[in-house]
Amino acid sequence: MMRLYVLGSGSRGNCCAVEVDGVAILLDAGFSAREIERRAETAGLDLARVAGIALTHEHGDHACGAPRLAHRLGVPVLTAPGTWDRLAPTMRRATHQAIGLRGTVELGPFRVEACPTSHDAADPLALAVRGPDGTAVGVAYDLGRPTAAVRYLLKNLTAIVLEANHDEVQLRTSGYPPVVQRRISGSAGHLSNRAAAELLSELHHPGLAVVVLAHLSQRCNTADDARATVAPVLRRVGFGGSLHVAAQDVPLAPIDVVAPERVQLRLGL
């Protein structure tokens, strides 16, 4: 059985993990190595089981803990080539495994797939991790806009961790300068709650078991607002799995990723 750990997500750090058969892979490492270790212990994730660290892009809230953690654990760092070029000066004691366009990397029991995203980073990716039993988890944030490649990568997955960064009204009234508002809402920025709901309605299929809303802005969103926008849309398309909202400061409880029962939408904490 596949298990998903969301150790924290937001503008100050992002880190998830997927575990199968006693082997785990970290998806982003946007907290310090010590903080990731602390959160992993809280969530019940044994970092000694980690076989690698896959990074979506080089920004600090997604990658700052990777150099030290990869060295401590003795595991490779999986990135797009452009991301590695940016991180290489800090990664002198880490090994690299490239994730290319349309490429697949085998790591332990996992198949890791990736596609480019629209974001203001060197070579940003969305990720999908597939287990040996066919279950699969996708992670897509810092999207700007959901491209055709992202839609294709996230099709027919069992669980999706998707950005729901901001409420559009709260962004307009946030006090951010107009140039910052345009960056956040632009094609190289972040998805709004409404855009996340629309994308999830397109991606919904009978095998979708888990949705986690991630990378919420502390200034321009709340967990209640994100849930209130997305939950009715998922309900309308017949989603029968569990909906969770990731927090910035504390990990979620581990989430078992299994085929959904046809039951009423369950709202995770």
Helix (H) or strand (E) holding 50: strand 50-54
- pLDDT band per the 50, 70, 90 thresholds, residue 263: very low
Shortest CA distance to 24 belongs to which of 2, 8, 57?
2
- pLDDT band per the 50, 70, 90 thresholds, residue 260: low
Q: Which tens digits make up the pLDDT trace of 143-176?
A: 888 999 999 999 999 999 999 999 989 989 888 8
Judge whether 101 and 66 are in contact, CB under 8 Å: no
Q: Which tens digits make up the pLDDT trace of 38-53?
A: 999 999 999 999 999 9
Radius of gyration of the chain (CA): 17
Q: Which tens digits make up the pLDDT trace of 19-33?
A: 999 999 999 999 999
DSSP E strand boundaries for 94-251: 96-98, 104-107, 110-116, 125-130, 136-140, 159-163, 210-214, 242-245
Average pLDDT of span 247-251:
97
Mean pLDDT of the chain: 92
Helix (H) or strand (E) holding 8: strand 2-10
Q: 42-46: list long-range contacts, CB under 8 Å, 24+ apart.
A: 42/250, 42/251, 43/5, 43/7, 43/251, 43/252, 43/253, 43/254, 44/254, 45/5, 45/7, 45/17, 45/19, 45/254
- pLDDT band per the 50, 70, 90 thresholds, residue 249: very high
Residue 251 has pLDDT above 80, yes or no: yes
Domains of the chain: 2-256 (3.60.15.10)
Residue 266 has pLDDT above 70, yes or no: no
pLDDT for position 173: 87
pTM of structure: 0.93
Q: Which of 62-66, 119-123, 165-169 comes out lowest in average pLDDT?
A: 119-123
pLDDT for position 102: 61
